Amino acid sequence: MAKKLPLADFRAVRSKLEPHEFAISEGPDVPPSDLVDPEVWDSIMHLPEDVSIRVSDHNGVRLRLLRQLWGDWVEAIGDPDEPDEMFNCLLEAADCFNGATFNFLHGFYRISLAELRTALELVIIGAYGNLYPTDENYREWKAGTSEMFGFTRCRKRLFGNLKKGQAKWMFEDDAPLAAAYQKLCNYTHARPDAGYGVLWQSNGPVYNNEAIKLTFFSSLTVHALCYLLVRLARPRFMIPEGSEILFELDWMPDHAPLVQAYTDLFGRPPKPPLRDKKEPG
């Protein structure tokens, strides 16, 4: 039977925002009109709430880093008063990153990985649109009249169009960009070896260290790849200082090719690896 956290634990008490704290508010909150039954609430929240406590018990550094990356991404989206073709894609990707972390915290690892897939696809489409804003297929995608323009078509077209100095190799079929997307697709579509049964080793949201590591490392990889795509499409773009760490950690997946892509696109290598920074957890 579940037990309540002691009130000394800051996670024990829920909070609710006051109406004035929203950008758009219509006065005081109305009283509850159809309050959920306690047993229904518990049946929905019991397992993910348990996972959130366990994950945050042992992954504070990882969660802090993911939150920092999300904050940096929000700052890097662009100027809302002068949006380019990437702006809306990057804005939506920010919510994907936020949702990925929330679901990671609550044990819904597959949904978290699916959010990362969506973010990566949005950013590559936005990058393509910034480079080729009059492309007919891109314009159809933007208008919502075509479903045939997605990650793989963008990647292949970029590979065909880009020059060597634009990290063209990054868009090859066996490069980390394609590999990361395919891996995320496996979990998005819940293929037999990439569904919740595999991630949980159980029948409900549970703390699973291997799934936690998979989701965390995937988050870092997608953030890094997305920043490289932004730089490709916005040649003057500079990665926020806090997110440069993505290219300085030699325990990052695909560290060497990420550093090479960074060097190709920025004209200089990132800072040397942070040898004293071990992988958290």
Q: Which of 153, 130, 137 is nearest to 83 (CA)?
A: 130
CB 177 within 8 A of CB 170: yes
> Tokens standing for 29?
């909150």
> Tokens standing for 47?
């397992």
Please, which pLDDT band fits residue 278 given cuts at 50, 70 and 90? low
* Residue 177 neighbours by CB under 8 Å, 6+ apart: 124, 155, 170, 171, 225
* 49-108 pLDDT tens trace: 999 999 999 999 999 999 999 999 999 999 999 999 999 999 999 999 999 999 999 999
Provide the whole-model pTM: 0.93
**Domain layout of the chain by residue ranges:** 53-266
